[in-house]
């Protein structure tokens, strides 16, 4: 209790100080506060030019400090991003989707396995089109884009969706061997199976002893495959031959049956293409119709090859790189459909004539996809005025002597058909169109003369009445 009384007396003592003493203590406190406060110094006047120079030219110490701080901040961002990716701190499933207003364009990006947005592939020169999934594809030999977003050297026909999108959306498809085909196509297939009366070529024993053919099974580049079969299976053509074979030439873009404006077919560049040498196969009048008339134009490439009917695509297989037979079939689908489309131009002109004197030509075409060990033979045709179909005619193991000779027979029969029966049909059709053009021109000339003759007759009769 004495302790509490002492504290109370102290508090009461402070509260009961005289006013003069309290004022003196306050004045002393103000002086001590002023002594502790640093004096206010006004900056020295500096000209604007010197001030600007000081801002633009920082001292070495300040610059080094700024760079060091920036490097540390960048390093911390990188390490933070690395830790975030490795720990999967942001998962695609945890992202909250926001509904995009209709007025805003779609700025969505593809995402990787961790849910991070991937940049779009770099643009390149040329015309591009979009698929139904939004990916960009080129109409010819432009590169595709890999899953990682990096550009690869893969061509358009190698893309996994090329057959199911680009070809299918342009009404080109591969039919099953079990599907029924039109009678005309079936008859043409039977025609190619017939035995040949000409010399059969190498014997079975010759093929068994062919070491070069055997070596193709151990691995061969595409160039080696082409060099072996170039003349042993596929005959060359001369300047005086009605047939013409062109190698590795791009087919005309206007001949490719592109019907979908978004998904284009890559312009075919067949390893080999058989057609006609127009200067030899056709008369000058027929050749002018083939080259000049847009409705019946039958030229397939820059070499002047006309009305093509046989496409060959080679692939290598071995340590130098494996070529996909699936890709070769895609190339055959596009190339043979282009051949059919060129012939169909002529048929459309014949149909407009509405005459029973001429029948349409057989617009079917053939193609081969092969490597050093296997060959696949196809036939293509147009059906229902819209669809282009391709169907397998046979698969041949080239190291088997019997298969080798059977495949050679098919190829030679196709070439002979093109040189003989098919060429005759085209010549007859061109002659018919030339005659139709002549009759039409004659009728138009007579129609122009009739008003003039009527005017002259009226003038002479009026003179006689006078």
How confident is the model at residue 453, as a pLDDT? 56
Which residues touch 142 (CB under 8 Å, ≥6 apart)? Answer: 124, 126, 128, 155, 156
Residues 6+ apart with CB under 8 A from 381: 181, 182, 184, 185, 340, 363, 364, 365, 388, 389
Q: What does residue 249 show for φ and ψ, rounded to 5 degrees?
A: -115, 135
Provide the pLDDT for residue 197: 81
Query: pLDDT at position 445, please?
Result: 78
pLDDT at 37: 55
What are the pLDDT digits (tens) for 86-114? 444 434 433 444 454 444 444 444 444 44
Residue with the bigger pLDDT between 152 and 124: it is: 152
Cα–Cα dist 212/274, whole Å: 26
Residue 156 to residue 145: CA distance in whole angstroms: 10
Inform me whether the pLDDT recorded for 266 exceeds 60: yes
The model's confidence at residue 152, banded by pLDDT at 50, 70 and 90, is very low
Q: Is the pLDDT of residue 124 over 60?
A: no
Helix, strand, coil percentages (3-state) for the chain, rounded to 5, are 50, 15, 35
Q: What is the mean pLDDT of residues 308-322?
A: 90
Q: Is the dihedral of CA 108, 109, 112, 118 positive or negative?
A: negative
Least confident of 28-37, 83-92, 99-108, 252-261: 83-92
pLDDT, position 432: 93
- What is the average pLDDT score of the chain? 77
pLDDT of residue 455: 57
Q: Pick the most confident of 10-19, 116-125, 405-414.
A: 405-414
In this prediction, residue 192 carries a pLDDT of 97
Residue 136 has pLDDT above 70, yes or no: no
State the DSSP code for 127: -
Domains in the chain: boundaries: 167-446
Q: pLDDT for 215-226, tens place per residue?
A: 999 989 999 999
Q: Residue 397: its pLDDT value, please?
A: 98
Provide the CA 93 distance to its chain's centre, in angstroms. 33
Going by C-alpha positions, the residue among 312, 140, 142 that lies closest to residue 235 is 312
Token digits of residue 157: 């026909």
Q: Which of 8-17, 56-65, 181-190 has maximum average pLDDT?
A: 181-190
Q: Which residue has the higher pLDDT, 307 or 60?
A: 307
Specify the pLDDT at position 298.
94
| Calculated CA dihedral for residues 58, 59, 65, 71, nearest 10 degrees | 60
pLDDT band at 371 (very low <50, low <70, confident <90, very high): very high
pLDDT higher than threshold 50 for residue 26: yes
pLDDT interval class at 138 (50, 70, 90): very low
- Gyration radius of the chain's alpha carbons: 43
Q: Which residue has the higher pLDDT, 357 or 244?
A: 244
Confidence at 394, pLDDT banded by 50, 70, 90: very high
| Lookup: tokens for 47 | 């000209």
**How does pLDDT run across 185-215, given as a tens digit for each residue?**
999 999 999 998 877 789 999 999 999 999 9
User: Which structure tokens are listed for 451?
Assistant: 């008003």
- Residue 105 confidence (pLDDT): 46
Query: Mean pLDDT throughout 258-271?
Result: 92
Q: Rounded to the nearest 5°, which phi and psi values hold at 254?
A: -70, -15
Instruction: Using the predicted structure, report yes or no on whether residue 249 has a pLDDT greater than 50.
Output: yes
8 Å CB contact between 192 and 286: no
């Amino acid at each position: 209790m004495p302790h509490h009384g002492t504290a109370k007396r102290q508090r009461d003592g402070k509260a009961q100080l005289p006013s003069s003493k309290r004022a003196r203590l306050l004045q002393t406190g103000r002086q001590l506060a002023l002594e502790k406060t640093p004096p206010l110094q006004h900056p020295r006047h500096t000209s604007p030019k010197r001030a600007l120079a000081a801002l633009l030219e920082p001292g070495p110490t300040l610059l080094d400090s700024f760079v060091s701080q920036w490097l540390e901040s960048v390093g911390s961002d990188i390490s933070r991003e690395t830790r975030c990716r490795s720990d999967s701190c942001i998962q695609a499933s945890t992202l909250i989707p926001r509904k995009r207003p209709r007025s805003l364009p779609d700025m969505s990006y593809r995402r990787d396995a961790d849910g991070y947005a991937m940049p779009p592939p770099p643009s390149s020169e040329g015309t591009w089109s979009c698929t139904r999934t939004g990916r960009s594809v080129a109409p010819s030999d432009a590169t595709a884009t890999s899953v990682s977003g990096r550009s690869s050297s893969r061509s358009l026909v190698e893309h996994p969706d090329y057959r199911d999108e680009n070809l299918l959306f342009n009404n080109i498809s591969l039919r099953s061997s079990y599907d029924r085909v039109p009678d005309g196509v079936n008859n043409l297939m039977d025609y190619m199976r017939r035995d040949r009366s000409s010399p059969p070529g190498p014997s079975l024993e010759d093929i068994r002893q062919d070491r070069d053919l055997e070596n193709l099974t151990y691995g061969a580049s595409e160039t080696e495959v082409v060099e072996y079969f170039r003349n042993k299976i596929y005959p060359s053509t001369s300047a005086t031959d009605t047939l013409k074979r062109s190698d590795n030439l791009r087919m005309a873009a206007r001949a490719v049956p592109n019907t979908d404006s978004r998904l284009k077919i890559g312009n075919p560049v067949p390893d080999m293409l058989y057609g006609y040498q127009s200067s030899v196969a056709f008369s000058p009048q027929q050749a002018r119709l083939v080259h000049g008339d847009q409705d019946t134009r039958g030229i397939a490439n820059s070499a002047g090859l006309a009305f093509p009917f046989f496409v060959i695509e080679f692939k290598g297989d071995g340590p130098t790189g494996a070529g996909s037979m699936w890709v070769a079939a895609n190339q055959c689908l596009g190339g043979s459909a282009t051949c059919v489309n060129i012939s169909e131009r002529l048929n459309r002109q014949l149909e407009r004539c509405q005459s029973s004197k001429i029948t349409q030509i057989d617009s079917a075409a053939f193609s081969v996809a092969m490597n050093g060990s296997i060959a696949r033979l196809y036939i293509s045709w147009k059906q229902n005025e819209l669809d282009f179909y391709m169907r397998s005619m046979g698969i041949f193991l080239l190291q088997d002597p019997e298969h080798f000779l059977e495949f050679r027979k098919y190829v030679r029969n196709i070439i002979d058909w093109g040189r003989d029966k098919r060429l005759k049909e085209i010549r007859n059709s061109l002659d018919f169109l030339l005659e139709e053009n002549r009759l039409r021109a004659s009728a138009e000339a007579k129609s122009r003369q009739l008003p003039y003759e009527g005017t002259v007759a009226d003038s002479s009769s009026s003179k006689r009445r006078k």
